[in-house]
Structure 1
Amino acid sequence: MKILLIEDDMDLGNGVRIALRDQGMQVVWVRTLDDAARSIEHDSCELVLLDLGLPDGDGLDLLARLRAARLPVLILSARDTVEQRLRGLDGGADDYLVKPFVLAELLSRVRALARRSYGFDGDTIELRGLLLQVPTRRVSVQGRPVELTASEYALLKTLLMRANRVITRRVLEEHILPGGLANASNTLDVHMGNLRRKIGEGYIRTVRGVGYVIDQQGEAP
């Protein structure tokens, strides 16, 4: 899982970053609202840890943009009154953790939010009978094993971790070939066609001119 950490305190930010990486998570750490806005557009993160008191503004001002991007948000803040917590939750955050906090609790809440948002428990991702086991890289559909290439696996994991969010061709291409080489060919189309054939119809939906998405709820029959 790739996490966007928005925190201006150097000591706290570094401690959180190390704790998350020790759990096998990727971390993009920024310290301002401006850098956070750029990261939302370019870094393809799956979950956000949001401080509210930032040097260039209030983290609450970023919540609408995070919700529009369908990103789960856990607020980390020293604002501890009931009214302040409710303002964050009502503003679109999924959870709220008051500083100072114990890192073990933060990790537990991150895992819980990942489960609620993506069906991801740290080992498996499950959606409508499609199961991806992260430690073993095994995939099955309705109990039937599916053999995927490394590129097909990377594509499927990216789509599942961002279920209900349209992923652009550019982002998906970055998960196939390094350095954007996929842009010069139809590599993405070939891999996507093979992946669809292997897992079956009804999972990957094309958004013309933009990219692809796996919907948490399938289309009604």
Structure 2
Amino acid sequence: MRCQPNSTFQVYNWLKNKQSCLLCDELADGALAICTNCEAELPWLGGHCQVCALPLPSHGLVCGSCLKKPPSFTKVETPWRYAFPIDSLITRFKHQAKWPLGRLLGELLSHHLQHAFDNGLKKPELLLPVPLADKRQRQRGFNQAQLLAQWLSASLHVPQQPHWLQRIIDTPAQQQLDAATRKRNLRNAFALKAGSSMTGLHVALIDDVLTTGATAESLAQLLSKAGAARVDVYCLARTPKPGD
């Protein structure tokens, strides 16, 4: 089982005062392991739906899907489109256990969220990582959403509960499925741990990528039925519509 990074160098490098950029290997300008040029060239989200964060041509809009059928979550907050090099960095973090890449993305997401809080986004009372099925987590060795929630909790000073959400049905991988199939896959796939109290809480779901929103919708419905007052979604990246 792979539950630790592949080398101690990966962890030690994160703790150095002077770091190299993890994207271009040049000396990083600040505290994070990314240089100013590479950070500027990341696929920042830009115009997007004010509810689900779907990339749109301009700011301040709500997409047709959210107007037609508002989701059970209140807002998705994310810094990037799911495009190069963010897609590659997430894949390497998630499937190759490149934890320093995940830590870097988590720190940048933390900065994005703090800026959003400073500009009026309501801060949640609790972070809940999207769960993996037990079999998949054993195969991967870790849950990337749990790591992100752990890092965000420490930097944003918001408590997290890594085990309150449980995936009780091991559904097929979602990446290549359309929205309707994803929704069918996730029916009754999640549950709350016995004794978990959601009543009146403002919670934020933590995940790596939001694609169709089926997972977030299923979990938001579960949390709302359990008494949560508001459910937001924080993730690293949002996929555009196919063809965009």
**TM-score normalised by structure 2 residue count:** 0.24
Larger % of strand: which? 1
| Greater RCO (CA < 8 Å, at least 6 residues apart) | 2
TM-score w.r.t. length of structure 1:
0.26
